[in-house]
């Protein structure tokens, strides 16, 4: 998949604005893996799978992906 195709595919996803700001490769990889995991889990649920769902993202990266962001001004932590 070309980078423009990837960008077009992600444009319709929620939180696409994250891709429009400067970020490093680690942040982009986390974003991309989270999106793929959500899509795979939704597909499994549609097929009638019951939690806990185990996708190839979980198999490769050994568990659930969790992102934490801390505001430098108010020190609020947002987890996903």
Tokens of 56: 């190839």
What mean pLDDT value characterizes the chain?
A: 77
pLDDT for the residue numbered 73: 92
Residue 45 has pLDDT above 70, yes or no: yes
37-59: average pLDDT: 86
User: Tokens 């974003």 sit at which residue?
Assistant: 31
Please state, in angstroms and rounded to a whole number, the distance separating the CA atoms of residues 20 and 61: 26
pLDDT for the residue numbered 24: 75
Work out the pLDDT band at 29, boundaries 50, 70, 90. Answer: confident
| More confident: 15 or 35 | 35
């Amino acid at each position: 998949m070309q980078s423009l195709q990837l960008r077009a595919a992600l444009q319709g996803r929620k939180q696409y604005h994250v891709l429009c700001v400067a970020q490093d490769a680690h942040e982009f990889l986390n974003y991309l893996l989270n999106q793929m995991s959500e899509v795979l889990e939704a597909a499994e649920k549609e097929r009638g799978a019951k939690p806990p769902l185990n996708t190839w993202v979980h198999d490769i990266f050994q568990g659930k992906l969790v992102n934490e962001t801390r505001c430098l001004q108010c020190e609020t932590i947002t987890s996903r």
